[in-house]
Each structure stands twice: as structure tokens, then as C-alpha cells.
Structure 1
Amino acid sequence: MVAQPFPPPVTIADRSDRGRQASRQTPPAVHADWTAAADRPDPVELLVAQNVTRESDLVPIRHGRMMTSPLAFYRGAATVMAADLARTPTADLQVQLCGDAHLSNFGGYASPERHLVFGVNDFDETLPGPFEYDLSRLAASFTIAAGSNGFRRRDVRSVTGAAVRAYRTAMIDFAEQRTLDVWYARIDESDIRAAMRSLRRRAAGPAEGSTAGKKGRRGKAEGRPKTRGAHLDKAIKATHKLLRKARTRDHLHALARFTEVVDGRPRITSNPPVVTPLRELDGAWGLSGEQIRAVVQDQFEAYQSSLSADRRQLLASYRIVDVARKVVGVGSVGTRAFMVLLQGRDEQDPLFLQVKEATRSVLEQQLPATRFATPGQRVVEGQRLMQSSSDIFLGWTNGMAEDRFYYWRQLRDMKVSAAVETMDPLRMTFYARLCGWTLAHAHARSGDPVAIAAYLGQEDDLDRALVEFSARYAAQNADDHRRFLAAITDGRVEARQDV
């Protein structure tokens, strides 16, 4: 038999042509024209429909957290935006989507090498799809957050534009890089500190400490740079504090925060409904306490089969000490989530794992269903594809019930999130650039950066279009939030705000 030649490679020129052809068919500027469809689904009904499989006693907590602000509502309303995005034009350039890429789903966490890295950190809705879905959700989240913080209109638009511009320019850079260089790229703690120092040096030019270049009215010309420098100093101080805090958020810190010692043994401290230990769950889900313990052990053993052999060997050094149900997040409240305390060589060698229910992605109503066997595997594989460094304990399992699926990860491992609600325009702009670069990197790992970069182009058409889209969507989100509050007032939706 004559050996068949390998197929010819797809050239960079071919990939670029695909992106340029997409830009002719779906010009980036069209994204500015979004309006709500006349037959748009009732956002309250979409949210209520998600409650069918959720823990009924926790659903009011979810609603209570969502009612606090338009941004909190937006965070919990991924299903609403997924329905809206399904009607938007796309370039048909596919990537692995985060699926819920709002600004609070980015943050710091530890790499396996114990470096603090910055990345996307929530993948409950991950699914392959058009890159615009993630970018639009990210951009709109900055518009909503900036508005919630009371920014002026021009600052709101500037922050949003910074996120999109960072995505576009990063993707253009990735298009010029070798494949492995794209794969290994990341932002770590040293990069963030260096970027802050560079920003401060640029601000400390002739305007600080000299009279060179000052024009116009003396007070106004001199005051602006000094004010900017003061804001930068404040931002740098806050950033360093946050990075130091991340270093303290380890398993020993979790041991001190979440446990107590009874009869010489650690156990998870009861704080219902946020943390409800296994010993208080007797009868939950129709199971006795002993049956629940047996299920937990079976699940733990099944979970290990999703890990590599070296990870299984590592986990063999730990045993389960206690388990508790835990309320997490905003949009996730009501899905089943647990914290598992394990112990290694002694009581000062803890490992906390989080077990979180994985449901169908909200995007599966609009996009092809996952190719993976379970939602848990979908979340784990999507996370591994999008993150430059992933949790060594990331794995999945099927639940006891046929329709329940879970993924496992470390509960705390230098995980830290930015305090968005305290940001001024300067800090939020810096954060927007971090998030834009990070999302572009996640998409470049899973999609075709050359084609996407060719579609985006060197001009700022998409930047301006998504700034306009975000302004329109923020207004729609505010209206949805008002309708949600009205549903709570009239009793259609139950909410609890004391948790």
C-alpha cells in the first residue's frame, strides 16, 4: 500500500482570509445596534425556571443577593443574557466560552508551582461558541459596574472601551506568536506589580516635580497630574494589599475560619444556612446521616477516577474528616454545593475541597449541547482548556441521583477577587485591561487567534460598537432588575436578604 501524504497545513494567510471574510459578512460595527426583541422572554420567568432543580430553602437567598443592585442582578442573570445574545450577529469564529464572563468572575489563584496568577475563575456555563458572547458579557459588566459606582458617563464608556481594546490588542499580539508561546502565556503577581510601577512612572513625568509642559490656568494644569498621582498611589497600595491577602488564603487559613475543635478533633463550624455541617443534615434528600456519609465516601472515591495517577496518589494521603453544605456565589445559590475537610499527616495538615453541582450550561438553549458525557466533565474540561494554570485537584463525578452531576476543586488556594464596588475610574480601567487580556488569552488557547485578530483588525470599530452595545444592555439590565424587584414586592418571587 502506498502511504498517503499528510494533508497540507492551513496557512496563516488562509486563517487571516477567514477572519477578513467574516468581517465583511458581519462587520464589527453591527454590534452597536442591539435592541431587545419584541418577543423577548420575561426575564423573571427565565430566572424562576432555573429554580426547579435548586434547593428550595436556598432559592430565596439567591433572589435576595440578586436584588441588591443592578450589578448583583446581572451576575445572577446569565440565562437572561444568553437568550439575548442568541439573537445577536456573530462572525462564527468559535472558541471555548467561559459562558459567564462578567468582571467578578476573574481573579487570582495559585498555580501548581505556587505562583499567584490572574485568570478567569468560574466556568459553570462554559461551552464552545462565538467569541462575541463572552466579550459582550464582559463589556456590559464593566458598564454596569462603573455606573453602579457612580462614574461619569465618559468614564463609564472609557472603562468599557479599555476592556474591549485590551482584548483586541492582545488577540492581535497572540496572532503573531508561536502556538506554544500562546499556550504558556499568563499574567502573574510580578506582572501586575510591574504594570502598576510602569503606570506610576509614566504618571510621574515632567508634570510631577517640575514646571515643564504646564499650560493654561496654573491651578488646573498643576492639579490634575498631582491628583492622578495620588489616585495611582492609592491604587497601587490597594493592589499590593490584595496580593498580600491572597497569600494568606490557604488551607490553614480556612481551617481557622471554618472549623472548631470538639473532643480534640476538628470539625466544620455550623453557620446555617451558609454552612450546614453533615451532622445537621440527617434526613436531607430522604437520607439518614449515615447514608449521607456513605454517599460522600463513594463520591470521593469516584471523583478520584477523573484525576491523573499522580493526583490520585496524592489524595491517598488524605482522609475525610467532615463535610458541610455551603452556599456559594450569587447565580449559583440553590445549586448543591459542599465543602469537604480532609486531613493529611495531622490536624495541621488540612485540605479543603469544594464540591459544586454542575447543571446544563445556560448556553445550551442556544448552542449545541456539550460533547462531554456529563455537565461536571464539561466544566472541568472547559476550565483546563481556558486557564493557563488549573487546580491540581480539579475533577468531576456523577451524583447519586441520575440528574445530579458535580465537579471538585480546592475551596481556597490563594483565591482572591477584586473589590469592584470600591474601584475608582483609574483602578477599574487597570482592571478592565487585565480582564480583556485574560479573556483574549483564554480564547486564543481554544480558538484561532489569527482569524479572530484579522476579524477585529487594527481599527477600533468593535471597541466603539461594544461600548454602545453595553450602554444599551446596561439600560435593559436596569429595567430587568426593576421588574425583578416588582416581582418580589408582589409576591411572585420570594427573597431573603439577611444572608
Structure 2
Amino acid sequence: MAVEKDTPGKKIRAAVPRTSQGDFKLSPQRPGVVESIRLSNQDRIKSLIPIRHDRMSVSPFAFYRGMAGLMAQDLSGLPHTQLKVQAIGDCHLCNFGGFATPERTLIFDANDFDETLPAAWEWDVKRLATSFVLAARHNQLRETDAHEMAIHMATSYRHSMYEFSQLPLLDLWYKKFEMHALLNKATSEEVRALLRNAIEKAEKATPQQVFYKITQSVMGTFEITDQHPLIYHPLDLEKEKDNIKSFLSGYQRTLQEDRRFLFSKYHVVDVALKVVGVGSVGTRCMIALLMNDKDEPLFLQIKEARTSVLENFTAKSKYKHAGERVVQGQRLVQAASDIFLGWSTAGDGRHFYLRQLRDRKIVPDVETFDKEVLLAYAGLCGRMLARAHAKTGPGQQISDYMGKSELMDTAIGKFAVAYADQTEKDFEVFTKAIRDGKLPVEKA
């Protein structure tokens, strides 16, 4: 009878039992919720902080989205295997979606890398699992269904990690989750209908549609339409033209040669600040309208890059430029990235990264998902995360550690429910601080 080999991944179980991955305990050194929020607000645009608080106050899940740093601290004190991958960092179900590759094929992948950094693979898995519990509760599904979401995501991750760890390396790096293939494989008619509608809408999207939606003609030229306080013009383009030129020259140097040539065919017409997301509110995020000689538009999103929330709990980034950290992490994780993805430094020394705005983007409307759709989405996100981790970390060791039983899946489900409960407690503290006037809010 053959004896099963004790692989390096399995040996880790002695130090970090798989059941321990289900444990959750708050560190006595954990700062208070209000203090954590104030720390996360540091160096944000002060006038936008009340909008951030308002968006986070919508639900425990919205609060969770806005406080990745708090969870990073909580995770850092828990048992983990020390096996590192290129972690997404802020890995929750709303940071996945569809977009077009440079070849114009629609794929499904992770799409937010503000916090990306090499870190423990479990941190991404636990944050994603918890997000499904909170989303299921927000959608008023049963508690047993919420628990099932986390376990299903973890099971998909484990099975997929085993599959991907066996692939030839080049095959793994070439692997994409194409939206049309996902549509063809969907077994539920409800899921198929959602995918079909999303694909049709994305394939019809053009830069001109965005152009006519967010611009206006002023004295024969076009400019981005103000929508205070969410879109407005903080810069005088004429006064700042030299700084803008320097900023874009620095950005252009981060592109590969052919894309640099393409970008040179466009010139800046307008720049506006745009409030985006939940966790990003208050950071400096802008949209730039560029045009070519044929009056064809190109929209770029210019987003401030700050220190990753993971850096206080793992090694510092090897990149001195936070924008480069984001870009290089995104290129490592995604199966294909935007051709205009790059980084630059503003005149005041702040770091930014740039990408196209709304390039045939598919944003899953998770708040409308019923149990069947959310369960299918959980399996897909788990599978995509496994591919990312297998690409950038020791996939075989991670797979061997998890093993073939459901022990790891159950542990992740247990943790996700416990951390979702903690998030709801933190949310109550947060909303009480708002009611008590300790944290300002402004609807927008």
C-alpha cells in the first residue's frame, strides 16, 4: 500500500492547523473603531470626508468596504501559513467584474488593486468570504444561506487551486475567464440571462457614450460637466498646463513603446475631480478628457495611490512609488490589463496611477442578487482568486495545505460568519458616533 508523501504544504498543518483558520479573536491592541476611521481619513480631502462617512453608513457591508485597513490589522494577529501571494488586499465581491482586454474580449477578473501587496493568501480568502456573508445578509437571505456562500466560495477556491497548481506555468498565465465562455457554461437560466444582458450592454459601449454622458459644449469646446460635490474642477487648466504636461510626460514614460506612440496622438482637453467608490472617497481621484485630431475622445482615470493598508502588517513594498506598486500588482494578478495602465508623480509629490475610464466595464449589481445568483458568483470569485494566487505564489504548497477534505472550507465559513458579526458590531459603534456628532456626514 502506497504511503502518502508528507509534502511541504502538509507539514505546515502542524504549526497552523486548518481548523485554526476558523478562529477569530480581537487583539487587545486593536484601536477603537472611531480612532481607526480617523486614522484612515488622514490626508484625504477634508470636504469629502463627510461624504465618505455617509457612504459607509449605508450598511455593515458598505462599512466593511470602507475599512480594509481595520481588517488587515485583525488578520495580521491570527494564525496564517506565511505562504505569500500577490494579494489583492481589498478583496471583496464588489472588486471583481468584467472588462475588455486589449484584444477587445470581455473577461471576468479582479479590478481594484489600490491595496495590492505580497501577503498571506489567507487574508484575501477570508476577506472575500466575509464579504459574501455580509452581502447575503444585506440582501435579506437566510443566515444558513449566508454561511453557505462563504463555504461555497472557499470550496471553489480549494478545488480551483488544486487544478491550477497542476497546470503548466504558461497555460496558467494565459488562462482567462472569458465572459462568453462563462455564459455558455452557466446552468441556471437566471444566471444566463444576467450574463447575456451584461455582455450585450458592455459590447455596445463606446467612448462616445461616456463622452456625451459626462461632458458639455462650452463656447465651441468640450468640458466635463460639474456635478457638485461629486464632480468638479479644482484646477485652472491654463495655470496648471505646465504641471499637467510634466505629469503626463512622466506617465507616458511608464507605458511600453507602442502604447506611448498611441497616447501621443491625444491632447488634454479637461480635467475634473471625481468622487468614486466607498473606501476611496476623499483620495484625489480625477478624470481627464483627451481628444485626438479626429475629435475622438479618450477618458483616463487618474487615481491617487497611497501606502497599502497591508504594509503595516507585512514587508514594505519593494516599489518606492505607490502608483507603480498598484500597476505592477495589477499586471501580475490580472489575465490582461488596460493598455493605458501606468503611473506618475504630481508636482506636490503625490503618487498616482492611470487607466482608462469605463472601458466596456461590467459591474455586477450584487445588491439585486438572489441566493442562486449570489452562490454562482461566489464560486466564480473563488475560482478567479485561486488563479491569481496560483500565478503569483506557491500554488502547490497552498493546495497541499488545504488538502482534499472540506476541513478548510468549513474553517473559512466559520471565520467569515464570526468576522461578519464583528463588522456589524463595529458598524453600530460607527453609526452611534455619527448620531452623537463625533463623525460628520454629508449626503451626495
Give the shorter-chain TM-score range.
Answer: over 0.9
Aligned mates of 2:322, 2:314 — CA distance in 1: 15
Q: Is the 8 A contact 1:250 1:412 kept in 2?
A: no
CA deviations 1:150-189 (Å, max 9, x no partner) are: 1112211111111111111110001111010111111011
| 1:187 alignment counterpart | 177
Amino acid across the alignment from 2:166:
E
Q: Is the 8 A contact 1:395 1:409 kept in 2?
A: yes
Matched-pair identity in % = 39
Aligned mates of 1:249, 1:126 — CA distance in 2: 29
Query: In the alignment, is residue 23 of structure 1 matched against residue 13 of structure 2?
Result: yes
| 2:244 alignment counterpart | 296
1:449 to 395, 401, 405: 395
Query: In the alignment, is residue 483 of structure 1 matched against residue 429 of structure 2?
Result: yes
Instruction: Report the 3-state secondary structure (helix = DSSP H, G, I; strand = E; otherwise coil) of the residue aligned with 1:363.
Output: coil
Amino acid across the alignment from 1:320:
V
Query: In the alignment, is residue 127 of structure 1 matched against residue 73 of structure 2?
Result: no
Aligned mates of 1:159, 1:309 — CA distance in 2: 44
Aligned mates of 1:246, 1:88 — CA distance in 2: 41
Q: Is the 8 A contact 1:22 1:92 kept in 2?
A: no
TM-score, reference length from structure 1? 0.86
Query: In the alignment, is residue 253 of structure 1 matched against residue 209 of structure 2?
Result: yes
| 1:89 alignment counterpart | 79
Aligned mates of 1:454, 1:239 — CA distance in 2: 34
Q: Deviation at 1:385?
A: 0.3
| 2:91 alignment counterpart | 101
Aligned mates of 1:368, 1:417 — CA distance in 2: 32
Superposition RMSD in Å: 1.5
Aligned mates of 1:471, 1:190 — CA distance in 2: 33
Amino acid across the alignment from 1:355:
I
Aligned mates of 2:200, 2:33 — CA distance in 1: 40
| 1:366 alignment counterpart | 313
Q: Is the 8 A contact 1:324 1:340 kept in 2?
A: yes
Aligned mates of 1:29, 1:262 — CA distance in 2: 63
Amino acid across the alignment from 1:399:
A
Aligned mates of 2:312, 2:323 — CA distance in 1: 18
Query: In the alignment, is residue 234 of structure 1 matched against residue 180 of structure 2?
Result: no
2:281 to 324, 333, 341: 333
Q: Is the 8 A contact 2:135 2:366 kept in 1?
A: yes
| 1:45 alignment counterpart | 35
1:493–1:249 distance in 2 versus 1, CA, 3 Å: farther
CA deviations 1:376-431 (Å, max 9, x no partner) are: 110000000000001110000112113x1000000111112111110001000110
Aligned mates of 1:290, 1:265 — CA distance in 2: 14
Instruction: Report the 3-state secondary structure (helix = DSSP H, G, I; strand = E; otherwise coil) of the residue aligned with 2:268.
Output: strand
Residues paired across the two proteins, number: 441
Amino acid across the alignment from 1:313:
F
| 2:270 alignment counterpart | 322
Q: Deviation at 1:37?
A: 2.5
| 1:210 alignment counterpart | none
Query: In the alignment, is residue 419 of structure 1 matched against residue 360 of structure 2?
Result: no
| 1:5 alignment counterpart | none
Aligned mates of 1:21, 1:480 — CA distance in 2: 36
Aligned mates of 2:29, 2:339 — CA distance in 1: 45
Query: In the alignment, is residue 470 of structure 1 matched against residue 426 of structure 2?
Result: no
Instruction: Report the 3-state secondary structure (helix = DSSP H, G, I; strand = E; otherwise coil) of the residue aligned with 2:108.
Output: strand
Q: Is the 8 A contact 2:96 2:108 kept in 1?
A: yes
Q: Deviation at 1:270?
A: 1.2
Amino acid across the alignment from 1:245:
K
CA deviations 1:100-155 (Å, max 9, x no partner) are: 00000000011010000100000000000110010000000001100111111221
Aligned mates of 1:24, 1:253 — CA distance in 2: 57
The 5-angstrom pairing of residues 218-233 of structure 1 reads: 232-233=188-189
Q: Is the 8 A contact 1:95 1:443 kept in 2?
A: yes
Q: Is the 8 A contact 1:46 1:80 kept in 2?
A: yes
Q: Is the 8 A contact 1:47 1:79 kept in 2?
A: no
Aligned mates of 2:129, 2:214 — CA distance in 1: 36
Q: Deviation at 1:289?
A: 5.1
Q: Deviation at 1:322?
A: 0.8
Query: Any runs of at least 4 consecutive aligned residues in structure 1 with deviations exceeding 4 A, and if so which?
Result: none
Query: In the alignment, is residue 306 of structure 1 matched against residue 250 of structure 2?
Result: no
